Structure 1
Amino acid sequence: MPSDYQRIAAERRRLELADRKAEQEKRRDPEHEAAFCAWAAYRVNGGDMTFEQWRRQGMHKEGQDGQ
């Protein structure tokens, strides 16, 4: 059973998260998000792969290199 301190700390974390989410929503730019999604969907590497495939390939190589 959580102590009073644990309950208060959990409530404080919930309130801080709600505040951060509200602040992020104020700064949200739907036009920028749409532009980024469109950019990420473009094909890269001469049209051979999608941006996501290219990103995952790079992450895989970094893991092999030990970086």
Structure 2
Amino acid sequence: MLVSVSAVLLLGLLIWFLLRIRYLRWADLLLCSAFGFLLARTMAAPLVATVLDGLGAFLGGLRF
């Protein structure tokens, strides 16, 4: 678990850095996939799922 948490932090920082410098390429798919799989194995997974559910409900409630 400790390795996955540190890997999530490292990959999250790398994704943030790539977004900041606007340099996203082929590695995006692999990097973001690895980040997602590792994030799902941490204690943050339920919080992320709750936030995404709330965001989905909010966006679903919008009327245009």
Fold shared by both chains (TM-score > 0.5): no
Larger strand fraction of residues = 1
Using CA pairs under 8 Å that are at least 6 residues apart, name the structure with larger relative contact order, 1 or 2.
Answer: 2
The structure having more radius of gyration, on CA atoms, is 1
